Structure 1
Amino acid sequence: MTKSLNGKVALVTGGSRGLGAVVAEQLADRGAAVAITYAASADKAEAVVAKLKAKGARAIAIKSDQSDLASAKPLIETVIAEFGQLDILVNNAGIAIQGQLVDDPELDGDKYNRQWQVNVLGTIANTRAAALKLSDGGRIIFIGSLLGSYVPFAGVADYAGSKTALVGYARGIARDLGPRNITVNVIQPGIMPTDMAADVAGELPDRDAILNMHPIRRIATLEEVAETVCFIAGPSAGYITGETINIAGGLAI
């Protein structure tokens, strides 16, 4: 694998598990120094860092609760203090709360409001803090969801809305940061084999029925989603900005 990201520093939020951990590893494989964040999974985060260091990469884990908007500035300052720069921000951290209809009399508003806090306001806070420090020619990548563009079943309105909000925000800051040659894009995976997907699997319709909607009848692998993230983070994607890229086996066509 070519070291296309040699000399670059990447921050992957929510990098202790799932897609974030695979993205961190693939960025490191391409030569980047990598910081990951975690909210509670310290052991998992340190295991990811140990794996990256074993590959010869510089890596750190930073405890940062994205639901606390005041955590954003110290997070970015910690990355700069450790590595001296920030070139790539992968906004991966988020939560999935699904299953209740909007007219459900038992709708847990506080729980769903926290999802907006983490997925949207927390992500925006991190992005604002990073934008002040990001190197010219840098990359901002949001991990969205196909549900941000296409909703094939009920009970996901708030989650889908939180991901759609990121699309509009990304397009706006692509305009703001374009003069600095900073690209801003959204990667929208479909279903992936993650702990978060497993947590909400019982709230989804029949899995086989959903797979039957896919022209390519399988779920995405973490590796192929991470490969796309790394391409957008790399030198060949410098003229791709404000875009939304679906990795969902054609589900939305």
Structure 2
Amino acid sequence: MQLDLTGRRALVTGGGSGIGAAIARALGARGADVAVHYANSKDGAEAVAGELIGAGRRAIAIGGDLTDPAQASAVVAAAAAHLGGIDIVVNNAGHLVGRATVAEMSDEHWASVLSVNVSSSFYVTRAAVPYLAESAAGRVVLMSSLAGENGGGAGSVAYATAKAAVVGFARGLAKELAADKITVNALAPGFIEDTAFHNTFTPTAAQQNIVAGLPLQRPGTVDDVAGAVLYLASDLSSFVTGQVIDINGGANFR
């Protein structure tokens, strides 16, 4: 059995930069055709799609606000129309939004964090289920976080809550979609360097302290996350569903 995705059709949300871009490139390198979604990173998404087209893949960049159910459905429909269906959905889109303690947190902040991390995945996956059900190898990959397991850093209660909810969504959905032979799994990255997330919200000194405390003594990379997606998207994981894969250099153990 090989990690060959030739002919598979994938939608990667938040694919214009960072982890999402690495995932889209990795899927394309293994033969998949890829729809690269973006919210704000239009130039990046178009560049990734262009690279994939240059390598002989079918690819397209599609913009949309996934916190809006109508736009999320439109993104999925556009991806399916361009690729001729969907076999793989990678719900990578998400955001810390900002740090706030519970005492100072506004209703709007709470709702925004839950919406961009949880509701967006629900809207996209719901719209994609009919296409996945027609696939011989339907795959859903959701993006949780180490924060969903350990509560995250200061001011990230809303984010930690959202990422824990993603795990519950993955496990419940795995049971629901099993009859259609669709697997559903989640990833929980820890510290992944050179991403907008940590460059924005984690000071350099804090990043260095995190890495110093890891058993593997190195930061994670976007390719570390992309590699796990390749496994979950391929036939190698056909008997794996409802699971969470930690990608954190040994920061914690289940």
Normalization by structure 2: what TM-score?
0.93
Deviates more, 1:131-140 or 1:21-30: 131-140
Q: What is residue 9 of structure 1 aligned with on the other side?
A: 9
Are the equivalent residues in 1 in contact too, given 2:3–2:236 (CA < 8 A)? Answer: no
Residue 22 of structure 1 deviates from its aligned partner by: 0.6
Q: Distance in 2 between matches of 1:246 and 1:109?
A: 30
**TM-score normalised over the length of structure 1:** 0.93
Instruction: For residues 29-63 of structure 1, give each alpha carbon's deviation from its aligned partner in whole angstroms, at most 9, with x where no partner exists.
Output: 11000001111222121111111111111100111
The answer as to whether partners of 1:216 and 1:250 remain within 8 angstroms in 2 is: yes
| Corresponding residue of 2:112 | 114
Counterpart for residue 214 of structure 2: 214
One-letter amino acid matched to 2:202: A
Aligned partners of 1:63 and 1:206: how far apart in 2? 33
Corresponding residue for 2:241? 241
Number of paired residues?
Answer: 249
Distance in 1 separating the partners of 2:152 and 2:143: 19
Contact 2:88 2:233 in 1 (8 A): yes
Moved over 3 A (4+): none
Percent sequence identity is: 38
What is the one-letter code of the residue matched to 1:147? A
Alignment partner, residue 174 of structure 2: 174
Equivalent runs, 1:1-253 vs 2, <5 Å:
4-104=4-104, 107-134=105-132, 135-151=135-151, 153-193=153-193, 194-202=195-203, 206-253=206-253
Distance 2:28 2:185 in 1: 20
Residues in 2 aligned to 1:109 and 1:197: alpha-carbon distance in whole angstroms:
24
- 2:96, 2:156 within 8 Å by CA — same for their partners in 1? no
Give structure 1 stretches of 5+ with no counterpart: none
* Cα root mean square deviation, aligned: 1.7
Given residue 114 of structure 1, which amino acid in structure 2 is its aligned partner?
S
